[in-house]
Amino acid sequence: MSFNTIYVMLMWVRMAPPLPLIFFLLMIHGVSSDDWGVSYSPSHICALKDSTVIMRCTYTYPTGYKIEKVFWTETLKGDESLDLSEDPEYSQRLQYLGDKQQNCTVRLSHVTLKDSHMYYFRIITDKPDGKYTGKPGVTLTVTDLQVESPERVTEGDSVNLRCKSSCALTDRATFIWYRNSQPLTERRDRNNELLLQSVRREDSGRYSCAVDGHTHISPAVQLNVMYPPVKPVISISPSGVIVEGDSVTLNCISDSNPPAEISWIKGGTIVGSGRIYNISKISSNDSGEYKCKSINEHGEKYSDAVTLNVMCELMIVYTLFKNFKFIIV
Answer for which of 174, 191, 222, 249 binds ligand NAG (CB under 6 A) is 249
Residue 28, interface with ligand NAG (CB under 6 A)? no
Residue 105, interface with ligand NAG (CB under 6 A)? yes
* Contact of 40 with 135, CB cutoff 8 Å: no
Sequence-distant (≥ 6) Cβ neighbours of residue 269 within 8 angstroms: none
- The H or E element containing residue 317 is helix 313-328
Buried b or exposed e, range 246-271, using 16+ CB within 10 angstroms: bebebbbebebbeebebbbbbeeeee
Peptide bond before 42: cis, by omega within 30 degrees of 0? yes
Residue 247, interface with ligand NAG (CB under 6 A)? yes
- The H or E element containing residue 21 is helix 19-31
Distance CA 187, CA 179 (A): 12
264-293: which residues touch ligand NAG (CB under 6 A)? 276, 278, 283, 285
Residue 103, interface with ligand NAG (CB under 6 A)? yes
User: CA-CA distances (angstroms) from residue 203 to 114, 121, 189, 252?
Assistant: 36, 50, 15, 26
Residue 251, interface with ligand NAG (CB under 6 A)? no
* Contact of 267 with 288, CB cutoff 8 Å: yes
Number of H helices and E strands in the chain, helices first, is 3, 28
36-95: which residues touch ligand NAG (CB under 6 A)? 58
Residue 195, interface with ligand NAG (CB under 6 A)? no
- Return the number of the residue (29 or 56) whose C-beta is nearest ligand NAG: 56
- Return the number of the residue (170 or 280) whose C-beta is nearest ligand NAG: 280
- Return the number of the residue (238 or 299) whose C-beta is nearest ligand NAG: 238
Answer for which of 6, 10, 97, 316 binds ligand NAG (CB under 6 A) is 97
Residue 323, interface with ligand NAG (CB under 6 A)? no
Q: By CB neighbour count within 10 A (0-12 exposed, 13-18 middle, 19+ buried), where does 184 fall?
A: middle
Q: Which stretch binds ligand NAG (CB under 6 A): 15-23, 64-72, 98-106, 192-200?
A: 98-106
In the complex, the smallest distance separating the C-beta of residue 232 from ligand NAG, rounded to whole angstroms, is 17
- Return the number of the residue (97 or 168) whose C-beta is nearest ligand NAG: 97
In the complex, the smallest distance separating the C-beta of residue 310 from ligand NAG, rounded to whole angstroms, is 10
In the complex, the smallest distance separating the C-beta of residue 41 from ligand NAG, rounded to whole angstroms, is 9
In the complex, the smallest distance separating the C-beta of residue 32 from ligand NAG, rounded to whole angstroms, is 17
In the complex, the smallest distance separating the C-beta of residue 273 from ligand NAG, rounded to whole angstroms, is 10
Number of residues engaging ligand NAG in binding (CB under 6 A): 11
* Contact of 53 with 106, CB cutoff 8 Å: no
Q: Where are the beta strands (DSSP E) in 49-137?
A: 53-55, 57-60, 67-73, 94-96, 106-108, 117-125, 131-133
Binding site for ligand NAG (CB under 6 A): 58, 97-98, 103, 105, 247, 249, 276, 278, 283, 285
